[in-house]
Structure 1
Amino acid sequence: MILEICVDDVAGLEAAVRGGADRIELCAALSGGGVTPSAGFMQRAATYGLPVSVMIRPRAGDFVFTRDEADVMKRDIDAARVAGLSGVVIGASRADGSLDMLLLEELRRHADGLDMTLHRAFDVAPDMEEALEAAISLGFPRVLTSGGARSALEGIETLARLSDVAKGRIVIMPGAGVRPQSVQALLDRFPITEIHASCSAMPSYDPESMVAKLGFTGAGRKATDEAAVRQLKAILTSRHKGGVAL
């Protein structure tokens, strides 16, 4: 049972490692859904001895990328490789929301030798079963998905259906809003081998500080909660061993 924790700063990275994460998804600006982190952050993440997958997304917003953006994405894949990280998290859509098979194949070839995750661009696909077959044909080991809902718990029935369709050909990794309080419902509904969470909480800061007054705190920014990571890891470990999660 693999617990992947997504983080967007060094403090979050350290909290995830201390809490027992099995794999890290490295991002910047998680409040906007996550974009590619800096080369310096990639290099720092490489020193922790854990598998690290880097979000390859040049901007927030939709997943319809121009040729110039595709070139940036390939350079960011190169940066992840140079940093010595184990994988990349990629996705791309056409204007109708379907997967951009040509660009994804191009990025897949460029990332050859790295672990790959298809990110939640999958969730905007108009036909998720068709998108799943496309992801399998492209050779993705896993897809990160909420079942097309705002949270994995809300999309639980779709996730269960996708798991049935996958038949072990690709890992369905639930993500979005996964917390210690909600994970048991997912575990009880369909077979899970990998799960994705941020385990984040609102950081405390002084609203009267100049940093806050000048708008530098970052709207919606959250911090990784080490205790939540540890609790989630304990539930997954107990489940894997056949025990009773408390």
Structure 2
Amino acid sequence: MSVLVEVCVDTTEGLAEAVRGGAGRIELCSALDLGGLTPSVGMMQRAAGAGVPIYAMIRPRPGDFVWSPDEIALMETDIEAAYSAGLQGVVLGASRPDGRLDTDVLGLLIARAAKMGLTLNRCFDLVPDFSDALEQAIALGFHRVLTSGGEKRAAEGSDRLASLMAQARRRIIIMPGGGVSAETLAPFKGLPLREVHASCSAPVLASGPVVDFGFAARIGRRTDGARLRDLCAALADPGLR
């Protein structure tokens, strides 16, 4: 069975490059340097015809995943916008102040996303009890959990990822994400991978007035089709099984 590669993008150029490079699904965002925020309605509409499933990140601001009533209302509207644009799914997350999943808020958001694919975002990596949180995600009806196994990079969380996959028993997809590339797959050898999440990006240097005025970071990232193709080839290697 081939492993699906989901690529996160935040520009139209990145979207086109990811599709050309063989992405099986797109996580559509803005502000990837902040972990990904909700894309604009225009970006959603533009991406809808890309030819691969598109999941919109629904996250109205950077920081934690403890949402105010106003933010929850905004997220509901953004979910409706994603559905109206013709996108296939949404990426959601909500936490209680102690880090546990906020199942009440998640249930409300999921109800707005009826008939759409559902990914639980990396708020999962902040939970105090991964086993309990996984069962909550399954009960809520999520189709997959994007997680690094509670570590900054998925390769460092491979032991917990293995445990989560065993617990899931194919009731839900555990999708490793966080620094995943062709060069970091060794710790995943032998895991029953079904999907992985990656940026497949390369650094880009900027200079001149756009940097001086604060309109761009001096070092940014850009989706790189070659890195995506390398990742797909590495995942297809029988030696990884």
TM-score (norm 1): 0.94
Question: Deviation digits for residues 168-205 of structure 1, max 9, x if unmatched?
Answer: 1110000000011112431x141110110001121132
8 A Cα contact 1:98 1:124, kept in partner? yes
Match of 1:104 in 2: 106
Secondary structure at the residue paired with 2:26? strand
Matching of residues 120-139 of structure 1 within 5 Å: 120-139=122-141
Letter in 1 for 2:191: F
State the shift of 1:122 in Å. Answer: 0.5
* Cα pair distance change 1:234/1:123, threshold 3 Å: same
State the shift of 1:165 in Å. Answer: 1.1
Residue 66 of structure 2: which of 42, 64, 67 is its match? 64
State the shift of 1:220 in Å. Answer: 5.7
Match of 1:197 in 2: 198
Letter in 2 for 1:46: A
8 A Cα contact 2:211 2:218, kept in partner? no
State the shift of 1:40 in Å. Answer: 0.8
The alignment yields a C-alpha RMSD, in angstroms, of: 1.2
Gap regions ≥5 residues in structure 1: none
Match of 1:181 in 2: 183
Letter in 1 for 2:220: R
Question: Deviation digits for residues 62-119 of structure 1, max 9, x if unmatched?
Answer: 0000111000001000110111010000010000000001000011111010000000
TM-score (norm 2): 0.95
Residue 150 of structure 2: which of 137, 141, 148 is its match? 148
* Cα pair distance change 1:127/1:244, threshold 3 Å: closer
8 A Cα contact 1:29 1:35, kept in partner? yes
State the shift of 1:244 in Å. Answer: 5.0
Between the aligned partners of 2:218 and 2:153, the Cα distance in structure 1 is 20
Q: Identical aligned pairs, as a percentage? A: 50
8 A Cα contact 1:36 1:58, kept in partner? yes
* Cα pair distance change 1:163/1:219, threshold 3 Å: farther
